[in-house]
Amino acid sequence: MENREIMAPAYVYMVRCEGGQLYTGWTNDPAARLHAHKTGQGAKATRAFGALSLAYLEPCPDKSAALRREAALKKLSKAEKELLCAAWAEKTRPRLSMATRADAADILQLYNWYVLHRTATYQITPSTLPEYEAWVENTLARAPLLLARDGDGRLLGYACAHRYHPREAFDWDVESTIYCAPDACSAGVGKALYGALLELLRMQGYWNVYALLADPNPASERFHEKFGFVCVGRQPHTGYKFGRWGGMSIWWLPLRKGSAAPAPVRLQLTPDEAAAVLQKYTTT
């Protein structure tokens, strides 16, 4: 089978450093490259000045186009670069909403990209629209299904939770899921989506959130650790995709602690309760 993971798009980007400096570069993986800059494994300039955050990201058709665009950006004045960064930040600021059945096609398109190109999911055959229309409704019956869109309405990512196990004793446990568009993985989209999702789940009365991650997946592990998840198990040699075996790791976040009998979960929050949380994470 063809290894589609190597068919990565190209991006040109700017990273903001301490003191306000902007470093310009290109990459096939924005999230991994930003992590390298922030941990002192990137360019000499970002090691010297200290990388803080992604300030600009622009997709390009291929590496050659990215290199040409990188050269052009480096010729801009600081003021011109700042204008680009400001416009990009406003356009890509995630606007959160609760999904509806009408959003199924956009969610499906994003998820199927991962089916075809990544091992973040071990699904191999793409899902269909009827499947995802039913999936949206089934998900919303028990937990939030959140969307993040940019200023043009493009789907940047989604996050949701669903039953961890069908038996009644596990009614207070959910499994979380999050997928971001490839060019939104380091733009704060995941942070906004997961922050809102976990707060809503806590309000509903859930006690435990589990995340099942393809292993290895260091970027997702770092992401979950920032929210307080801990790894509670690893299953090696579990899934076969793109011509190789991969594993699975299980991550746990307790939303509540104690041994008291739990109150029933509120399967539905009021529209006002949900809207307040979504607005909080849209504006931060």
Percent of the chain with pLDDT over 70: 96
- Are residues 64 and 135 located together in one domain of the fold? no
Please report which confidence band the pLDDT of residue 284 belongs to, taking 50, 70 and 90 as the band edges: low
- Are residues 67 and 135 located together in one domain of the fold? no
- Are residues 110 and 57 located together in one domain of the fold? no
- Average pLDDT for residues 130-151, to the nearest whole number? 96
Closest to 95 in 3D by CA, of 139, 156, 53 = 156
| Angle subtended at Cα 228 by Cα 226 and Cα 230, rounded to the nearest 5 degrees | 110
Domain end (from 76, 92, 108): 92
- Are residues 30 and 145 located together in one domain of the fold? no
- Are residues 246 and 148 located together in one domain of the fold? yes
- Are residues 23 and 111 located together in one domain of the fold? no
- Are residues 181 and 247 located together in one domain of the fold? yes
> Which residue do the tokens 């058709």 mark?
61
At 195-208, the pLDDT tens digits run 999 999 999 999 99
At 215-228, the pLDDT tens digits run 999 989 999 999 99
- Residue 182 pLDDT > 90, yes or no? no
CATH number at residue 16: 3.40.1440
- Are residues 66 and 8 located together in one domain of the fold? yes
Q: How far is 161 from 139, CA to CA, in rounded Å?
A: 7
Domain end (from 46, 75, 92): 92
Closest to 30 in 3D by CA, of 54, 6, 47, 46 = 54
CA 256 to centroid of chain Cα atoms: 24
At 67-116, the pLDDT tens digits run 999 999 999 999 999 999 999 988 888 999 999 999 999 999 999 999 99
At 206-260, the pLDDT tens digits run 999 999 999 999 989 999 999 999 999 999 999 999 999 999 999 999 999 999 9
Range of the domain at 278: 95-282
Count structural domains, the chain.
Answer: 2
Please report which confidence band the pLDDT of residue 3 belongs to, taking 50, 70 and 90 as the band edges: very low
Please report which confidence band the pLDDT of residue 49 belongs to, taking 50, 70 and 90 as the band edges: confident
- Are residues 58 and 124 located together in one domain of the fold? no
Please report which confidence band the pLDDT of residue 48 belongs to, taking 50, 70 and 90 as the band edges: confident
- Residue 149 pLDDT > 70, yes or no? yes
Burial label for 13, CB within 10 Å (0-12, 13-18, 19+), is buried
> Which residue do the tokens 């995709």 mark?
241
- The full length of the chain comes to 284
Domain end (from 61, 92, 123): 92
- Are residues 69 and 185 located together in one domain of the fold? no
- Are residues 171 and 149 located together in one domain of the fold? yes
Q: How far is 209 from 41, CA to CA, in rounded Å?
A: 32
Q: In sequence order, what are the residues at sequence separation of 6 or more whose Cβ sits closer than 8 angstroms to the Cβ of residue 86? A: none
Q: How far is 105 from 68, CA to CA, in rounded Å?
A: 35
Average pLDDT, the chain: 92
Query: What is the model's pTM?
Result: 0.85
- Are residues 107 and 202 located together in one domain of the fold? yes
Which residue type, as a one-letter code, is found at position 34? L
CATH number at residue 252: 3.40.630.30
